[in-house]
Structure 1
């Protein structure tokens, strides 16, 4: 039903029933493709983990692991910084959502002493599942 022309996918003007059937078919296909993609990426990640590799040469493709790191914060400890550092600096590091700015905390940490101790004790690095970055090599370079 969809027609591709010059990189643009165009859906022809059809009756509602046909359009709804098309949407439902594509949803099922996307769900299946998504499940296949998740499984294939998990297989690649597992193979790289088994080899302790961060880079995989796969023929005309290069696969890199992109770390997925996030931080958790002990808000009770972070809030103690409010009385210890200038208010404008604290406001840049800790927003009212509360959302922590890792960059802002890194700046405050450079003040050293008790401030650095509080931040170091309050920030925990949590490593998630890495993402894959896949690049196709030029055919001339293969």
Structure 2
């Protein structure tokens, strides 16, 4: 008996169909690999920016809770946060009306340069003293 060779009895894929399927699959796989690399890079950068923002906010809290207003002009310092060294700079100036001090704070990682910035206002000339003790009256 001779096996039928017509188009109704063929099974499987041809070589060309397999090559086309593999090329489509490889293009999709390459796109996913590139997307993963992009996502990983962005996640690392985002993490650095979050730590930089915490450095700037910590500096702002120090300025706002200090009883003495900051000195006018520029200043800078270093701080360690998140296992990295951060350089912060601040610039303090009186606002146009002179009632407030505007402080611009920036922080940057020494290695990668991930930046963060924050501007705060603080009353000028207000020195927060400890409250006066209330005199006790004798009963």
Say whether the fold is shared (TM-score over 0.5): no
Higher Rg of the two aligned structures:
2
Higher relative contact order (CA 8 A, sep 6+): 1
TM-score by length of 1: 0.27
TM-score by length of 2: 0.28
Structure having the higher helix fraction is 1
